[in-house]
């Protein structure tokens, strides 16, 4: 009888103090007027919007069905299809980034001495340099830099720490190697979306702790910053997030302890580990960070809480949100005016925090 009583308490304590940890406090919104910026509501019937929404609903449903059956190759093929049928002015060529497969993306006029490491999203399971060419090409265009996109090792064939290691190795390689060969970078950035945003933000903390060269600025889109899924929007926006809800609906509705065990089984790290949950780490001493998200997505609070905590720790982070948009809506730059507006804001942010050298 005593064991029956104690077992639930022990399991609760294991989850509360080790796997999931205490719930992150709600930091107040920054007082500075430019720290949080909100942009307008998506109008119903707007040209291109309904077509994109329909495409995303169909794609997300098909991907979720494949993932439930562990058909990872089929799900990845669907994700890579995001780049099919599109024309790009950028040049793409494959490279070995310190043992990590990747490709250089160079928009017309890109400066090879200015470089960004771009880490794609996809829940640590999906995505590739190919699926995200719209984003990497646009990033090279608005920043004027050469974008190094990487195919980091993914779940479930590899562990979460393999992806972390690949990002660290590729970044350090990029500092001394560009698209034209060995050459030190003048300016460097780090960027990523969704799960790639997790990896990008955890990379910043690692660079700070190792006292290695930090990027001049970082940009993350709809990042997962809390793998404990404690944010209110993780469940509150299930009805409005047409991209993530089909995949994450069952996970976020699980009891917290079961959800923690799922993360440990999938990631092979604790959900409270700051590598998997950058929100739970030390956010001081980081470079300028721009975080963009949709008010309608499940990861809205991951973005909001990260920026609020970072600002409280003295890091110059900025939050920009758009009403009614999709998760990582920036990938639909050609279809959505809000996405084009977001890219203009990214270009503006980088120009102000890490301007190009004169004459560039």
Please indicate whether residue 70 is annotated as part of the active site. no
120, 327, 333, 345: the catalytic one is 327
83, 128, 194, 230: the catalytic one is 194
- Tokens 């009888």 belong to 1
103, 141, 295, 297: the catalytic one is 297
Rounded distance between C-alpha atoms, residue 80 and residue 101, angstroms: 16
Q: Where are the alpha helices (DSSP H) in the chain?
A: 2-14, 49-68, 72-80, 133-143, 160-176, 195-209, 233-236, 245-252, 256-267, 300-312, 337-353
Please indicate whether residue 260 is annotated as part of the active site. no
Task: Map residue 139 onto helix, strand or coil.
Answer: helix
By residue count, the chain amounts to: 360
Tell me, rounded to whole angstroms, the distance of Cα 224 from its chain centroid: 6
223's tokens: 């990042």
Closest CA to 116 of 135, 94, 101, 91: 135
Please indicate whether residue 120 is annotated as part of the active site. no
Rounded distance between C-alpha atoms, residue 164 and residue 272, angstroms: 16
Give the residue numbers annotated as catalytic, written as ranges: 194, 297, 327
């Amino acid at each position: 009888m005593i064991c029956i009583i104690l077992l639930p308490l022990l399991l609760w304590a294991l989850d509360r103090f080790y796997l999931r940890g205490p719930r992150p406090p709600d930091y107040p919104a920054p007082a500075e007027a430019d720290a949080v910026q909100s942009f307008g509501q998506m109008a119903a019937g707007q040209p291109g919007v309904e077509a994109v929404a329909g495409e995303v609903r169909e794609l997300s449903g098909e991907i979720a069905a494949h993932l439930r059956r562990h058909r990872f190759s089929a799900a990845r093929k669907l994700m890579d299809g995001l780049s099919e049928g599109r024309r790009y002015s950028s040049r793409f060529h494959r490279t070995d980034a310190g043992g990590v497969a990747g490709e250089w993306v160079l928009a017309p006029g890109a400066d090879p001495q200015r470089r960004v490491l771009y880490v794609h999203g996809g829940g640590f399971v999906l995505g590739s340099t190919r699926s995200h060419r719209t984003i990497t090409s646009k990033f090279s265009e608005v920043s004027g830099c050469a974008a190094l996109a990487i195919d980091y090792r993914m779940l479930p064939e590899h562990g979460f720490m393999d992806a972390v290691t690949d990002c660290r190795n590729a970044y350090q390689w990029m500092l001394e190697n560009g698209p034209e060969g060995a050459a030190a970078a003048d300016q460097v950035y780090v960027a990523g979306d969704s799960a790639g945003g997790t990896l990008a933000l955890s990379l910043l903390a690692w660079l700070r702790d190792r006292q290695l060269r930090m990027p001049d600025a970082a940009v993350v889109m709809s990042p997962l910053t809390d793998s404990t899924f404690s944010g209110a929007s993780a469940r509150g926006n299930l009805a409005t997030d047409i991209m993530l809800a089909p995949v994450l609906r069952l996970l976020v509705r699980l009891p917290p302890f079961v959800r923690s065990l799922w993360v440990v089984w999938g990631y092979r790290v604790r959900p409270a580990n700051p590598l998997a949950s950058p929100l739970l780490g030390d956010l001081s001493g980081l470079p300028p960070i721009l975080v963009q998200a949709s008010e309608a997505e499940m990861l809205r609070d991951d973005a909001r809480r990260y920026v609020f905590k970072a600002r409280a720790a003295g890091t110059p982070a900025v939050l920009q949100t758009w009403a009614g948009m999709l998760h990582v809506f920036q990938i639909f730059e050609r279809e959505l005016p809000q996405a084009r507006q977001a890219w203009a804001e990214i270009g503006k942010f980088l120009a102000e925090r890490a301007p190009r050298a004169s004459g560039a």
